[in-house]
Amino acid sequence: MALHPRAGQPAVATDLTNIAQLVSAYFVNEVDPRNRAQKVKFGTSGHRGCAFDSSFNEAHILAISQALVAYREEQGITGPLLLGRDTHALSEAAYMTALEVFIGNGIEVHIQTDDGYTPTPVVSHAILRYNRNRSDGLCDGVVITPSHNPPTDGGFKYNPPHGGPADTNATRTIEKYANALLSSQLMGVNAVTYAEARASDKLKQVDWRKDYIESLDDVIDMSAIAAANLRIGVDAMGGAGASYWALIAEHYKLNIDVHNADVDASFRFMTLDKDGKIRMDCSSPYAMASLVKLRNDYDIALGNDPDYDRHGIVTPTHGLMNPNHYLAVAIDYLCSHRTWSKELAIGKTLVSSAMIDRVVNNYQRPLREMPVGFKWFAPELFAGTTAFGGEESAGASFLDKEGQPWSTDKDGIILALLAAEICAKTGKNPSQYYDGLCEEYGTAYYRRIDVTSSAEMNAGFAGIRGYKLKLTELAGDEVTAIMTKAPANDAIIGGVKVTTANGWFAARPSGTEPVYKIYCESFVSEAHLDELAEQAQHLVTSWLQA
């Protein structure tokens, strides 16, 4: 896909969303339950949509919230529901709707004190803390967020009592119930007015922000960061954790400059992403252009998306790190600087760099290679059998210093602070650290290609069967495996992955856009990567047309 001519440039007035129109559309636009595009659909990170398209409107949230009430009853979840939201405009509207339904059904709901915004990892951390040493009356949580997506979007994520993203069985059940409610014109939805919800004794305010910040030393060596007196820059991206950074600096006596801490639902302070849209993706060099320009002012610079489940790492020597590079660095550092049991595994997605495989093998730890989606890591982090789970899209979490679960959802705050700890403890920034890994294990050349597609073409991935593909060679190397299931748990990956001794590629459809993604990596050269990528595109096209 072609790079937009203004990618990386500051947004101007014509790029901004009319927030008043967007919120009005949320409440006014009618939903057609017969229109597939307007049904409730849970992807890898919950239901997402846009009020203008009638795919994220009041009717959706009424239906999803009531469906979740029914699901909780089925599962015997009787404790409070922890409700958080990020700073997207539709998050505020949906938060109000969800609160009306949950209180209307007699559920005790906990929210952040002072009506503050709440990052996804903070909700996960709070669920784990509340449920610790409990066998009944367990809590669960909802975060209203479309993650890093544009200001027009809304999202609804459910986290069951293990604190991480709900699995497919849960989301399919909630989705089915919600669509049935939409089809029945919301008959069966119980809700009170917002004023009644706010006045209810079922609504409790809890200072999760204080609890989370004061616990950070359990998972990060905060004293080492303070002692190193690092100059730290943060792009808060006007997100749910924007207020956290100044408090973290104050509590731990850190030298942090915070940029874009003010909440503005239009996100007018952003630079445009690769396609010319405002998208708060802290792993994109175009969305992070403002912070990258300041890289020489800091020893380490950090960024987070609006719900703070992703991290962006900017170093003075290299600029914005490739997320795969930082995952490999984080894993290598943690394996050598934490006293975790040797039996604990390291988790990665199938489309993450094979550099991780080499690092994990060096420490003789089990590797858990999962399908895309952090929901696959959550149960193992919760059980304490996996020490680290990470995605190629700049999302990860890991156990605390004692080997206990910290958050079972992606945590952009601790991954950002880990980068500062690495600087403090090793004297090298994470990019320099990665250069050392390349010297030890070889240089990895990695690329992701977004190919314009259609719903019909994307559906064709479901028909690909590895055993039917007569492929013996790829980019001059013998094919060692063709996978349509994840090695760690035999789960369907929704696409295909082909490996050789010197490289691999994987292809899978997007769950939200008319594109499919091809991921490629070579340990030979950039030219070999070009050859691998070209062959991959031809192969995928032929398989989808077969």
Residues that are catalytic: 147
Tokens 């809590």, residue?
139
Alpha-carbon gap, residue 147 to 274, rounded angstroms: 17
Please check whether residue 318 is in contact with residue 377, taking contact to mean a CB–CB distance below 8 angstroms: no
HSE-CB at 216 with a 13 A cutoff on CA atoms is 29
Please check whether residue 314 is in contact with residue 292, taking contact to mean a CB–CB distance below 8 angstroms: yes
Please check whether residue 306 is in contact with residue 148, taking contact to mean a CB–CB distance below 8 angstroms: yes
Alpha-carbon gap, residue 413 to 122, rounded angstroms: 9
Starting at the edge strand found earlier in the chain, the sheet holding 46-50 runs 42-43, 46-50, 153-159, 140-144, 81-85, 109-112, 203-206
Question: Exposed/middle/buried for 13, CB within 10 Å: 0-12, 13-18, 19+?
Answer: exposed
DSSP per residue, 473-504: EETTEEEEEEEEE-TTT--EEEEEEEEESSEE
Q: Which amino acid is at 362?
A: N
Q: Which amino acid is at 445?
A: Y
Residue 172 burial (CB count, 10 A)? 12
As beta bridge partners, residue 50 has 153
Could you tell me how far CA 512 lies from the centroid of its own chain? 14
Say what the alpha-carbon torsion angle 520, 521, 522, 526 is, to the nearest 10 degrees: 70
- Type and span of the H or E element at 156: strand 153-159
Strand pairing report for 140-144 and 81-85: parallel
Phi-psi region of 81 (alpha: psi -120 to 50; beta: other; left: phi over 0): beta
Alpha-carbon gap, residue 33 to 92, rounded angstroms: 24
Give the closest residue to 390 by CA, choosing from 364, 405, 368.
368
Give the closest residue to 129 by CA, choosing from 74, 206, 73, 202.
206
Q: Which amino acid is at 33?
A: P
Alpha-carbon gap, residue 415 to 411, rounded angstroms: 7
Tokens 């009638």, residue?
54
Please check whether residue 262 is in contact with residue 242, taking contact to mean a CB–CB distance below 8 angstroms: yes
Tokens at 360, concatenated: 């994990």
DSSP summary character for residue 10: B
| 105 Cβ contact list (under 8 Å, min separation 6) | 66, 69, 190
HSE-CB at 253 with a 13 A cutoff on CA atoms is 6
Tokens at 169, concatenated: 């069985």
